[in-house]
C-alpha cells in the first residue's frame, strides 16, 4: 500500500494543505511565507527521503508562530496517517549529526505516545522572520499530533542557524530510519501487537 497522506486544515489563523509520501525521493515543494522555515521543511524532505508538499497562508502580520506550529500539527497528522498501523516498520530511529560547530542527536520512537524531550538550549535569534524558539514549537506539535516520542539533544554549537538546521536534519534522518520498512520483520514492532 502507498504510504501517503494529505491533510487540509483551516482555522482563523492559518490555511494549510500538506501532502507527503514516505516512500518518495526527498522532493520538496514548500511555500509557507516564512523563508527560513521553508528551508527547514526542505531539509525534512531531502534528509527524510519524504516527498513533501506544503502550502500555508498564515497570519504573518502577527508573526510566524501560528504558521510554524500549525504546519507541525499537519505534518504529525500526515505522518501518522501515512504509517497507518505501522506494520513492518523499524519503529526506532536515531541520528547524531555534525554541522560545522554544532553536534545534535535526535532519536524517534513511533510508539503511539506523544512525548518530546528538548535538551537544546538554542540561542534566541531571529533567522529571517523565523524565531529560533519556533524550532521546538514545530517538533512539539509534530510529535504530539503524530503520537511519537522525539528526543533532541544539542551537544554543542554556537551558530544559531547551524543549530536549528542540524536539529531539523537530525530529526529528518531519525524519522527516515524509524519509518523504513524492515525486511526481516512482519507485523507491528511491539510485543503488545499494536502501536
Name the DSSP letter for residue 114.
Answer: -
Give dist(CA 145, CA 63) in Å, integer: 22
Give dist(CA 67, CA 59) in Å, integer: 7
Q: Residues in the chain, how many?
A: 195
**Contact yes or no for 116/144 (Cβ under 8 A):** yes
Q: What is the mean pLDDT of the chain?
A: 97
Percent of the chain at pLDDT > 70 equals: 100
The domains of the chain, with CATH numbers, are 4-179 (3.30.230.40)
Residue 159 CB: number of other CB atoms within 10 A? 15
pLDDT of the residue at 155: 98
Give dist(CA 64, CA 182) in Å, integer: 38
Averaged pLDDT, 84-94: 97
pTM over 0.85: yes
Tens of pLDDT, residue by residue over 2-13, are: 999 999 999 999
Give dist(CA 69, CA 73) in Å, integer: 6
Alpha helix positions (H), the chain: 35-48, 65-83, 134-146, 160-179
- For β-strands 51-58 and 28-31, DSSP reports them as parallel
Give dist(CA 3, CA 39) in Å, integer: 24
Q: Which three cell numbers stand for residue 71?
A: 504546519
**Contact yes or no for 157/101 (Cβ under 8 A):** yes
Tell me the β-bridge partners of 18. 7, 54
Name the DSSP letter for residue 44.
Answer: H
Tens of pLDDT, residue by residue over 112-149, are: 999 999 999 999 999 999 999 999 999 999 999 999 99
DSSP string, 154-182: EEE---HHHHHHHHHHHHHHHHHHHHSB-
Amino acid at each position: 500500500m502507498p504510504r501517503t497522506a494529505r491533510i487540509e486544515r483551516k482555522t482563523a489563523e492559518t490555511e494549510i494543505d500538506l501532502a507527503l509520501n514516505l516512500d518518495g525521493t526527498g522532493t520538496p515543494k514548500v511555500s509557507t511565507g516564512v523563508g527560513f522555515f521553508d528551508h527547514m521543511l526542505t531539509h525534512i524532505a531531502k534528509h527524510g527521503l519524504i516527498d513533501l508538499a506544503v502550502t500555508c497562508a498564515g497570519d504573518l502580520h502577527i508573526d510566524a508562530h501560528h504558521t510554524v506550529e500549525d504546519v507541525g500539527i499537519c505534518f504529525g497528522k500526515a505522518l501518522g496517517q501515512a504509517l497507518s498501523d505501522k506494520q513492518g516498520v523499524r519503529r526506532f530511529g536515531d541520528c547524531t549529526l555534525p554541522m560545522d560547530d554544532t553536534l545534535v542527536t535526535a532519536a524517534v520512537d513511533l510508539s503511539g505516545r506523544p512525548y518530546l524531550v528538548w535538551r537544546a538550549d538554542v540561542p534566541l535569534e531571529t533567522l529571517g522572520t523565523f524565531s529560533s524558539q519556533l524550532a521546538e514549537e514545530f517538533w512539539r506539535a509534530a510529535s504530539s499530533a503524530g503520537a511519537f516520542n522525539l528526543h533532541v539533544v544539542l551537544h554543542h554549537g554556537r551558530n544559531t542557524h547551524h543549530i536549528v538546521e542540524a536539529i531539523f536534519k537530525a530529526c529528518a534522518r531519525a524519522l527516515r530510519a524509524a519509518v523504513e520498512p524492515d525486511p526481516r520483520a512482519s507485523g507491528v514492532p511491539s510485543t503488545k501487537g499494536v502501536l
